[in-house]
């Protein structure tokens, strides 16, 4: 069961983020994302559904070098990957935090009064993008880039871009990507001055409705450093997988 979750989550992540970064398979059992525009590890990483062979690390290094990118490795915490962790440390990589996959086990939220949640229309993609940037970056410097990514996602029938409106303005964002019996929840955020008012809970309630209609699992990923795991635990989610993030400093 755990390995089925690993595979479903990996494929779902690739499916969603392939609108934002280049997705490729550098080795058997390895999935990779690379971006020359987004610098964060989220967009420049490799993750696995089985432990790689020693020669696979060389393949991965060459694949990223050919793209002018430097990967972070997101490594599952179970004992099957102890050899990979040892090999990465020998190559100068060091652990920099964790990345957790959570699955909804029960409905622990309800929609708040006065918050309208709906799938974004084509005309609302710019508002979705501006809100996403306000939540996650604090400015709109990347607006043209994010808008291109969002338009690509909108064209994919597996994706839903969702907005939360309050008092006539967009105050929250979310994205859902569904394939292989799994719905992944991404980019959930509320603008700072509307937090604590039920916007995120309303978005989660919408996601629950979608996954129930489709009969799929509902999963999301959180960075340990963001400190939001307790937020989701209180709202019916449970950690089902964990990865350690390994990065290497610039030579």
CA atoms of 203 and 232, how far apart (whole Å): 12
d(CA 186, CA 42): 12
Question: What pLDDT does residue 18 have?
Answer: 98
> What is each CA distance from 117 to 114, 143, 163, 182, 239, in whole angstroms?
10, 22, 6, 21, 26
**pLDDT, position 6:** 85
Pinpoint the alpha helices (H) of 18-116: 54-66, 82-90
Instruction: Give me 136's structure tokens.
Output: 């996650």
pLDDT at 70: 92
pLDDT of residue 134: 98
* Domain boundaries defined on the chain: 2-102+243-247, 116-240
Phi, psi of 242 (to 5 degrees): -135, 140
Angle in degrees, CA 122, 206, 201, rounded to 5: 115
pLDDT (0 to 100) of residue 55: 93
CATH number of 116-240, picked from 3.40.50.450, 3.40.50.720, 3.40.630.30, 3.20.20.80:
3.40.630.30
Asked if residue 88 lies in contact with residue 243, where contact means CB atoms within 8 angstroms, the answer is no
**Ordered per-residue pLDDT tens for the chain, 251 residues:** 567 778 899 999 999 999 999 999 999 999 999 999 999 999 999 999 999 998 999 999 999 999 999 999 999 999 999 999 999 999 999 999 999 999 999 999 999 999 999 999 999 999 999 999 999 999 999 999 999 999 999 999 999 999 999 999 999 999 999 998 999 999 999 999 999 999 999 999 999 999 999 999 999 999 999 999 999 999 999 999 999 999 998 65
């Amino acid at each position: 069961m755990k390995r089925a979750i690993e595979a479903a989550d990996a494929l779902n992540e690739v499916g969603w983020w392939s609108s934002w970064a280049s997705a490729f398979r550098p080795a058997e059992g390895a999935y990779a994302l690379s971006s020359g525009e987004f610098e964060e590890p989220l967009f420049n990483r490799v993750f696995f559904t089985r432990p790689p062979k020693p020669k696979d690390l060389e393949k991965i290094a060459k694949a990223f070098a050919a793209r002018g990118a430097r990967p972070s490795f997101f490594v599952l915490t179970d004992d099957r990957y102890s050899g990979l962790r040892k090999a990465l440390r020998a190559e100068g990589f060091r652990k920099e935090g964790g990345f957790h996959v959570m699955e909804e086990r029960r409905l622990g939220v309800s929609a708040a009064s006065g918050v309208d949640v709906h799938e974004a229309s084509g005309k609302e993609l710019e508002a979705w993008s501006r809100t996403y940037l306000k939540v996650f970056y604090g400015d709109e410097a990347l607006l043209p880039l994010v808008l291109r990514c969002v338009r690509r996602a909108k064209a994919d029938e597996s994706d839903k871009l969702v907005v939360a409106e309050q008092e006539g303005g967009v105050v929250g964002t979310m994205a859902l990507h569904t394939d292989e019996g799994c719905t992944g929840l991404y980019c959930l955020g509320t603008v700072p001055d509307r937090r604590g008012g039920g916007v995120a809970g309303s978005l989660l309630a919408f996601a629950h409705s979608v996954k129930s209609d489709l009969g799929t699992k509902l999963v999301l990923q959180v960075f340990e450093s963001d400190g939001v795991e307790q937020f989701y635990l209180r709202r019916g989610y449970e950690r089902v997988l964990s990865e350690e993030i390994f990065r290497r400093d610039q030579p």
